[in-house]
Structure formats: structure tokens, C-alpha cells
Amino acid sequence: MATLDPGALARTAPLYERVKRVIPPFEWAVFADDVDAILDLKRKRNAVVLAHNYQTPEIFHGVADIVGDSLLLAREATKVDADIIVLAGVHFMAETAKLLNPAKTVLIPDLAAGCSLADSITAADVRLMRERHPGVPVVTYVNTSAAVKAESDICCTSGNALAVVESLGVDHVIMLPDEYLAQNIAAQTRVKITAWKGHCEVHERFTPTDIRQLRENHPGITILAHPECPPEVVAEADFAGSTAAMSGFVEKQRPPRVVLLTECSMSDNVAAVHPDVEFIRPCNLCPHMKRITLKNIRQALETDQHQVTIDLTIEGRARRSVERMLAL
Ligand code: 13P
Ligand code: SF4
């Protein structure tokens, strides 16, 4: 199916230049109409699109104003001047943006864009952990609901987890809910870390066998892993870091051949701007991130669907945990 408006193809041609290595022309012809409409709606409605690194290239390079990892999106959300923020990512990211911008309209194009980590723990679970470990501070990954953040002392992301843990000046912390992130941080600090049993359904599937096969099949490959991967995977990788840190590694080091052990679209987005790097792509899809499409971003801007709201009884406490992290 071709674009409905031939003018849209011409108007979006400069944007296509950015993604031509990862999106074939016939696919862009299908996207151009929505990209063009979204750019127009953003201007008319004084809206911005914040997109996570796992969004597909037509969103990431085509319509986003700000792109990055969870930490950058949270930080940038505090500086947004527009009336409307569309969060092209998952629900906890939109909630974080709303916590930091209570007066603005924050839209998530699909309310069902969840996260297996956020679903792995409730506010009652956090209270139970506190009862079991009296006086031990709770460091909560941003991949959680606002209700869980409200029960926590401070938030962290994969980009600052070690710094957050060490900033507390204690010898024991509870770190929720990602067991693997907690174990990967525990390997880098003397602080004792008590973890929860949550896992990312995307990263838990990578294994050390995958790494060995990659090294065998692609000699000289550089292997980057997200710290939500199991510790035995991180131990065999060449570098582990947040999505922004992985992207920064490729930017700085320019390895001739690389694999990113993370969500699939991340490789497309980085490959689009690094034609000199060969990307090997045994990646895993995040079904939640993939719920966000150009169509539902356009619909969000046309209809204000779906507005993110936060329960007033938890809002202040949840915001405090995120702000404490950002103040570091
Ligand atoms: P980053 O903070 O590294 O972008 O990770 C977010 C996420 O959901 C990874 O699965
Ligand atoms: Fe959640 Fe994993 Fe998807 Fe990230 S990749 S949003 S941690 S399920």
C-alpha cells in the first residue's frame, strides 16, 4: 500500500535520508503519510514526542524530538516546554514523565505497553521487603509502577544504578525488582544487595552459549550487553551498559563488527547512523515497546488518547523517589 498523499513523500524525503540504510523505500512510502501528519500535528498542538531507544526507526528517526535511554528521557521530561508530551515507549516511562510534569498532558499511544519488570512487583511486595529487612533503604529501578516508586527511597536506571547504590552511604540496600541488574551491580560494589525475583522477558533469554556461538561464527566481533541480561552473559560480554551507554560505545569505539544483546530496534537505530559498523543481529523483540506505532502516535495527537494520570495518594511520594535520583 503506497502513501495516500504524494506530497508527504516529498516533504519527508530529508528524514528518509537518515533511515535509508534500515528502511527500504517501499516501506517508507507506507510510513510517509503518518510521519508527515505527526510532524504537522506536533506543530499545531505544541507537542513533543519522547522516544526510547527501542522504538522502531521510523519513530526514532522520523518523528521523535528527544530520544534516549530511561535516564535521559526522565531528565529531558523535566525540561519540556510543550503542552503535550507523547511518550513513545512503555507505560512506566510515560508515568515518570507525568510525575515530573504534573501540569502537562502526557499521552501514551497504547495503554497496554507494559513491562515484565514493572509487572513483577506490587507496592505491597515492597512493604513486605521492608518488614523483612528493617531500616534497609529501597532502591527501585524506574521500570516499575508509580505505586512501587512511592514505597521506595530512591529510583535508579541501568545508567546510574551503581552511583545510586553507592550514594546512600550504607552497607546494605534492597534493589528492586530486576534480579539480574541487582546481581550485575553487586559484582561492582562492596554494598550488600538484596534483590527481588523480577526479570526482563527480553534480556533473560540471552545465554552464554549465544555469546560463544557469536564469537565462533563472527571472528573479531565486539559484544555489548544490557545489564538486564543474566550475570553469566554480562561476564562474557566485552561491555555492559544502558541502551545509551551501548550506543555511546559504538559511537566512540567504532568497532568494525558488533552485536547488541538487547531489543532489536536498538541495532537498527544505531546502524542507521553508522554505515561503517557491521551489526550482527540476534536480538529479541520487546512486545510492549512494539505496541507503539506511527498510527497510534498520530491517533494520540488527534484525540488525546491515552492520558496518563497518577493517583493523588501516591503521586508526591513517587515523584520524590524519581527526583532524588535526578538530583544525584
Ligand atoms: P535503558 O534505561 O537502558 O534504556 O533500559 C530501559 C529498558 O527498558 C531496558 O529493557
Ligand atoms: Fe520491560 Fe524488558 Fe521491554 Fe525493557 S525490554 S520495557 S525491561 S520488558
Q: CB count, 10 Å around CB of 238?
A: 16
- pLDDT at residue 221, rounded to an integer: 98
- pLDDT at residue 4, rounded to an integer: 62
Q: Spell out the residues 6+ positions from residue 236 whose beta carbon is closer than 8 angstroms to its own.
A: 208, 211, 212, 223
* Backbone torsions φ then ψ of 254, nearest 5 degrees: 45, 55
Closest of 195, 155, 159 to residue 177, by C-alpha: 195
Q: Return the residue whose CA atom lies nearest to atom 6 of ligand 2.
A: 115
Cell of 259: 552485536
Give the nearest ligand 1 atom to 227 CA: 3
- Note the pLDDT tens digit of each residue in 181-209: 999 999 999 999 999 999 999 999 999 99
Q: Spell out the residues 6+ positions from residue 144 whose beta carbon is closer than 8 angstroms to its own.
A: 92, 117, 118, 121, 152, 176, 177
DSSP secondary structure letters along 213-253? HHHHHSTT-EEEE-TTS-HHHHHHSSEE--HHHHHHHHHHH
How many whole angstroms from 34 Cα to the centroid of ligand 2? 26
Q: Are 266 and 53 in contact (CB under 8 A)?
A: yes
Whole-angstrom distance, CA of residue 302 vs CA of residue 309: 19
Q: Is 187 exposed, middle or buried (0-12, 13-18, 19+ CB in 10 A)?
A: middle
Whole-angstrom distance, CA of residue 320 vs CA of residue 305: 27
Q: Spell out the residues 6+ positions from residue 25 whose beta carbon is closer than 8 angstroms to its own.
A: 16
Closest of 6, 7, 10, 12 to residue 294, by C-alpha: 12
Residue where the block lists cell 523483612: 132
Closest of 289, 244, 286, 308 to residue 84, by C-alpha: 308
- pLDDT at residue 152, rounded to an integer: 98
User: Strand ranges (DSSP E) for 109-207?
Assistant: 138-141, 154-156, 172-176, 192-195
How many whole angstroms from 313 Cα to the centroid of ligand 2? 27
Closest of 47, 57, 51 to residue 20, by C-alpha: 57
- Note the pLDDT tens digit of each residue in 67-82: 999 999 999 999 999 9
- pLDDT at residue 283, rounded to an integer: 84
Ligand 2 pocket: which of 228, 260, 265 to mutate (most atoms <8 Å of CB)? 228
Q: Are 54 and 285 in contact (CB under 8 A)?
A: no
Stretches in the chain below the pLDDT threshold 70: 1-4
Give the nearest ligand 1 atom to 115 CA: 8
Residue where the block lists cell 550504607: 170
Burial 2-23 (b: 16+ CB within 10 A, else e): ebeeeebbeebeebbebbeebb
Query: Residue 91: nearest ligand to its CA?
Result: 2
- pLDDT at residue 225, rounded to an integer: 98
Give the nearest ligand 2 atom to 116 CA: 8
